[in-house]
Chains A and B, each alone.
Chain A
Amino acid sequence: MDALMLVLADSRFPAGAHAHSLGLEEAVNQGLTDVPAFAAARLRLVAEADARIAVAARRGDADGAEAEWLARCPSPILRDVGMRLGAQLLRSAAATWPVTPRRTPRPVALGELGAAAGIDDEGVALLALYDDAATVTSAALKLLPLDPAVTTSWLAELAPQMELAARAIAADDRPLADQPAPAAVALELAAPVHHAREERLFAS
């Protein structure tokens, strides 16, 4: 663990994630109250898939990683969200690291950034997983009546799950196409419902 990792993991890093709930807002609209279960499910499914993409991009094949990401993300709305978050991450990171801002999925942007910042595979995977869960728990405070100390404790409780997954992803040296590609179809189906709502706090 080095200080650079902390800079990138800090929710104050200005990459626009504060405007996203990663599907939590629509889940809450449809009655969800168990936020830690939602965050844990994302970690097992889409966040793990994204972390694998990020590691592949960090290893140098950004174009291949982007093609695999597109294959795993059929929803046009989620594609747009991912591309926007990636562009925003690179735009802010370009002030610090030698990366070129462009529209690319967030995990691909994170992997490229990890390579530019000298962060290893496990670190990049951990960043992808942590950011996913932290974005969800931070959005939860604006959607449900919650104690911020408690939502932070959820994040801490998820730490072992993140570490195990990051280690396994970093140890997997198969080509991305041969690696597991967990998905969450319910999130893909909910995205257009959320997008069409007149009243929403979050962009996703």
Chain B
Amino acid sequence: MPARALRVGIGGPVGSGKSSLIAALCRDLAADERVGVVTNDIYTTEDARFLRSTGVLPESRISAVQTGGCPHTAIRDDIAANLEAVSELEESAGPLDLVFVESGGDNLTAIFSPALADVQVFVIDVAAGDDIPRKGGPGITRADLLVINKTDLAEFVGSDVGAMVRESEARRDRLPVAATSLRGPEGATRVAAWVRDRLAAFREHGHLHSSAEGAPDHHHDHPHVH
């Protein structure tokens, strides 16, 4: 068993539904796993407060990090504050099985350092325009899971969900894409199943290779030593 929790990065533009996705995932996973969350707010602790207000986790399992106006720096170029927050959370509220690190909403180039997130999810939504997958960027192309959220809004904003999924898949070389509507009956079920699968692999191997490292997890047909 790994000595620490699996760290799952959740990134994506402002308003794409990262916090709601995390709340839904906590609701789904918290019965079986000990879950913690570190939020990276831009200007307030709104995301942490939202999560606390949902009551899906004990307050002691939620921690907020300030990013000095640089959300991408805090998850990629200088991850010191986030690493510190994750280990403080594990010490104070642990042991934990799983920690979600929620990036502050940012642009399409933001991606987590593999030293911070073992695996990462990038969340976009249909209401921001169905040309987003064509715009690409490392979040779209390299995140371990791409979530296309708010599919329930597609008909109202004139977005073509099928095309978004196809264009995303074309850029992602077999990495998975999940079209979700957190308000629909299915909610975050598929994403939660993916997280469970990653957690099982993490437990089996003691670590994971994120696709963001350029070496997607190859399920280890070789034994290896670190």
Contact = CB atoms under 8 A, between A and B. Distances in A.
A202 B44 contact: no
Interface string B69-95: 110011001111101100000000000
A142 interface: yes
A137 interface: no
B43 interface: yes
B70 A18 contact: yes
Contacts of A142: 68-69
Contacts of B45: 198
B77 A14 contact: yes
A21 B44 contact: no
- Which residue among B44, B78, B80 has the maximum number of chain A CB atoms within 10 Å of its CB? B80
B80 A203 contact: no
Interface string B42-57: 1111000000000000
B53 to A, nearest CB: 15
Given A91-B83, A199-B44, A15 B68 contact: no
Contacts of A16: 78, 80-81, 84
B66 interface: yes
Given A19-B74, A142-B69, A92 B80 contact: yes
Contact of A203 (B42, B43, B81): B81
- Which residue among B43, B45, B78 has the maximum number of chain A CB atoms within 10 Å of its CB? B78
A84 interface: yes
Contacts of B68: 18-21, 139, 142, 201-203
Sorted nearest first, the 5 A-B pairs with minimum C-beta distance are A16-B80, A88-B80, A19-B68, A203-B66, A14-B78
Interface of A: 12, 14-21, 84, 87-89, 91-92, 139, 142, 198-203
